[in-house]
Amino acid sequence: MAHYGNNEKCSVDVLSVGYLTPGVAGTVVLARVSERIVILDPGMVPTRQSILSPLAALGIDPESVTDVVISHHHPDHTINIALFQNALIHDFQATYINDTWTARKAEGVQLAEGLTLLETPGHTPQDISVAMETTEGLIIYTHLWWSKKGPEFDKYSVDQDQLTQQRQRVLDLDPAWIIPGHGEPFKPEELSYK
């Protein structure tokens, strides 16, 4: 399990690495900062244990997860939200818990100092990315790329030009690592659309 950072800032653990063949699985991430225990994209995985076992190995009970952030509304990134009964759910437009829907824009929302939501539409109009400041530099979780191979043209994108602009915006933040929706973390210089 890839791990970045320490308790001084945000710490980031990749619980399950996504893929697109054979099958479909999303990349599921744990971010911890201050009192917040945050799961990013509890989506499709081989079994729920693919999320729960690495969490247990880190000593984290699903009930203690405080927040879940979804990068967008496709089921490959959302199907396991209900594993986290006490979590406040965050998307591009609101937070949700029990029967309370609190509208807000996601851009610039800080779940804690060092964990910030960015609106990055392009794959869908509802995309957000998560910027995490760690002792190993800035790490961005995003579905703007499926893996370090892109793809350059996202065949599911509703607006490829917007996607390209948002990719540039993320690269301009100079992240140390990008964690993509369906692949291993990569460094920006490893991006290759071939």
Q: Which amino acid is at 182?
A: H
Q: How far is the CB of 123 from Zn ion (least distance, A)?
A: 6
Task: Indicate the Cα dihedral angle 97, 111, 12, 70, nearest 10°.
Answer: 40
Q: How far is the CB of 106 from Zn ion (least distance, A)?
A: 16
Closer residue to Zn ion (CB): 74 or 148: 74
- Applying CB under 5 A, which residues contact Zn ion? 74, 76, 181
**Nearest residue to Zn ion, using CB?**
74
Closer residue to Zn ion (CB): 66 or 164: 164
Closer residue to Zn ion (CB): 13 or 41: 41
Q: Which amino acid is at 50?
A: S
8 A C-beta contact, residue 184 and residue 17 = yes
Closer residue to Zn ion (CB): 32 or 74: 74
Q: How far is the CB of 80 from Zn ion (least distance, A)?
A: 14
Q: How far is the CB of 17 from Zn ion (least distance, A)?
A: 13
Q: How far is the CB of 7 from Zn ion (least distance, A)?
A: 31
Closer residue to Zn ion (CB): 74 or 90: 74
Q: Is 188 exposed, middle or buried (0-12, 13-18, 19+ CB in 10 A)?
A: middle
